[in-house]
Amino acid sequence: MREEAREEVLEEVREADAAEREAEIERRVAIEVEAAKQEIAEAPPEPAVSEPFEAEIQGRFAGWSGKTVFPLDNGQVWRQRHGGRYRHTNDDQRVRIYKNLLGMWQMKVLSNGRSVPCAESTDTTLQKLYK
């Protein structure tokens, strides 16, 4: 009888240990899942554009001067990628965004053909500012 009681106690201890291990595994998995979700949330979004398109620059467009930001009428915000200056004096603010021969994005002013290297902005502050 004493041996049976001992075996019962040992079995209960084993089951309790297994339950504790399972709970610890679930806790660790939950922590890893939460960390992965946070990493995904903080990752910059991929540019949504893959094809050339035309749009109109919103607000007053006076050209570019090195770090110019271009808010478009489709809700996208693009920024100048390289230095360079251009003074725009025309009322036509239509542009075409396309990839150049090197696969980099360019913005061309449709009224005169002037172009500038650009990139879609992933800065959420800029995107919110111009929306």
Helix (H) or strand (E) holding 42: helix 2-42
Name the amino acid, one letter, at 119: A
96 - beta bridge partners? 54, 108
The share of the chain scoring above pLDDT 70, in percent, equals 88
Give the model confidence (pLDDT) of 8-45 as tens digits.
877 887 887 888 888 888 888 888 888 888 877 776 55
Could you state, in order of their start, the residue ranges of all structural domains in the chain?
A: 1-43, 53-129
What pLDDT, on the 0 to 100 scale, is given for residue 130?
61
Tokens of 73: 């009428």
**How big is the CA angle at 39 (ends 69 and 122), to the nearest 5 degrees?**
10
Give the model confidence (pLDDT) of 85-109 as tens digits.
999 999 999 999 999 999 899 999 9
Give the model confidence (pLDDT) of 39-80 as tens digits.
777 765 555 567 899 999 999 999 999 889 999 999 899 999
Residue 112 pLDDT more than 70? yes
